[in-house]
A and B are shown apart, each in its own frame.
Chain A
Amino acid sequence: MVLSHFEQAGFAIVMIKFEHVGLRYGIGPEVLSDINFTLEQGSFHFLCGPSGAGKTSLMSLLYLGRRPTRGTIQAFGKNTNVLPREELGLLRQGIGVIFQDFRLLPHLSAFENVALPLRINGFDEKKIKLHVEELLDWVGLGDCMHRLPPTMSGGQQQRIAIARAVIANPKLLLADEPTGNLDDEIGMKLMGLFEQLNKMGTTIVIATHSLQILDRLPHPRLILEGGNLQVFDPALGREDLSGRDTPSFSSEKAGGVVHV
């Protein structure tokens, strides 16, 4: 990975920054309250918490699928609260998302599904064919790239979803329960793939319930409970960050230091 002068000087590039972010649906209570954190480039985080804690809501804020009801979100150095819709779209192009239910388009072939982000980014068809075929070969789906997702197994569909999320070389990769439908062995293999992508510079946030994965991988954990955010870094022990100002985490730093 080539480091910029900024990075070489020891400054981490901020990918995402949440400041006093709150989210409510309609006139209901806040599902997320006063969330503060910063994700630096090349960091790797788990997002965990009980069902209904607001993980999916936080993920939707991370992939800029919603605007917060209060607070500010900065993505790739830009304040998304004041950014026009067209520019938000351009920022989203730098984010890859793997959904728990994959959200593949059932009427499009595996090839077409994976090609979608490149088409949206305006790549020409020759490049799209080259990249998509190469990536589908890499995830072991080279033989069935023209099959429709409903005719494929859950594991194959998951690999299509992963290929679609990484095809455009996103700066930030978000995965919502990516191992939810897989057995432990395949789940760990998938985590290995995410670690590889992380080493190549991609910032990664994975929402998961899997204790096995959390126990094996020593990355910092963003823990949501009752709409509030806490962090647990295996290297430092548990620390409550709710209500504090913009903590930042970087797994690239020794021991995953938590900055408060």
Chain B
Amino acid sequence: MSKIFNLFPNQIVGHDVPLHLKLGTEFLVLLVTLMAFLSVLSAAGIVGLGHMTHSWTSGLENSVTIEVPQQSSNEESVNRLILSLKKIDGVSKVERLGQKKMQEMLDPWLGGITGLWEDLPLPALITVTLSERDEGKIDKIGETVRRVLPDATMDAHEEWLGDLVKLANSLRFVSLAIFCLMMLVTAVVVAGAVRSRMAIHHRELELLHIMGASDSYITWQFVRYIMIQSLKGVVFGIVLGGLTIGVLGVVSRNGSDLLPHIDFDLVEMAVFAAVPLILIAIAVWAARITALRVLREMP
């Protein structure tokens, strides 16, 4: 494992403080790999949830469903309602759901029992499609329905859409919270690692200090070390994250129809790859602050 992570030769590090020695802080690469992997997944989750919500709502948000109870759903009254609805400005399509379509929708619930359809009090369902979602036009449709067939009810999918958006937003918030938590964990662990290395190399630090090395001269060595360790971790994390997203994409294409297809465009993929770079910035910042604080304890 250490050979895999050792892509950058020690010469590049070139420390006065021997940070290239393996003294127990190599786990940083593994930690950053894990954090980068999870951050790629959480970023993909946030974007993927957006896609999922869009695919679920796109067919519904411009449409209204009208339900006419069986006792009122004679052909004449339903047709009258359809004609009235077609006259409304902005309505692009009015369609009654046929017997066959309703049968398809209910089959999974009825378990394929035949001869039951005639006995079921099924309502007539009318789908009204608007050229664009407009609350004023939806209100007008409601007025028309109440005027022509007072027993009929209208569902503008507001409740369903609202719940779905709430769910998606909650999941996005959770993903963001997890991402922030990962940043915090990275910062804390990096700070701990830097403190540990500074304690181990106290004699070298003291010598540099006595020679007149500035805090920034010494701090830069730790910052450079953490930068390289984080970079290694981020590269591995991005590769692992990319592979995982690829596998999920294949599974979603060949799996259940209920699962949305996970397809990201190149820009989105580039964003996922860029997100873990924030980890490097956080790690470097934590290393710098910690090193400066420890050095300030020296006279």
Contacts and interface: CB of A to CB of B under 8 A. Distances in A.
B103 interface: no
Interface stretch (A116-124, A133-141, A178-186, A201-209): A116-124
A116 B206 contact: no
A108 interface: yes
A9 interface: no
Q: How large is the interface on A (under 10, 10 to 19, 20 to 34, 35 or more residues)?
A: 20 to 34
B215 A63 contact: no
A65 B214 contact: no
Interface string B210-222: 1111110100000
Given A67-B299, A88-B299, A116-B16, A103 B207 contact: yes
Contacts of A107: 18, 20-21
Q: How large is the interface on B (under 10, 10 to 19, 20 to 34, 35 or more residues)?
A: 20 to 34
A80 to B, nearest CB: 9
Given A64-B299, A65-B206, A120-B217, A92 B211 contact: yes
Contact of B210 (A94, A97, A108): A97
A128 to B, nearest CB: 13
B204 interface: yes
B212 A65 contact: no
Interface string A35-66: 00000000000000000000000000001111
A65 B211 contact: no
Contacts of B296: 85
Contacts of A85: 215, 296, 298-299
Interface string A54-90: 0000000001111100000000000000000110111
Interface of A: 63-67, 85-86, 88-95, 97, 103, 105, 107-108, 116-117, 119-121
29 contacts: A64-B210, A65-B209, A65-B210, A65-B299, A66-B299, A85-B215, A85-B298, A85-B299, A86-B214, A86-B215, A89-B215, A90-B212, A91-B212, A92-B210, A92-B212, A93-B211, A93-B212, A97-B211, A103-B207, A105-B204, A107-B20, A107-B21, A108-B16, A116-B16, A116-B208, A117-B211, A117-B212, A120-B211, A120-B214
Interface of B: 16, 18, 20-21, 203-204, 206-215, 217, 296, 298-299
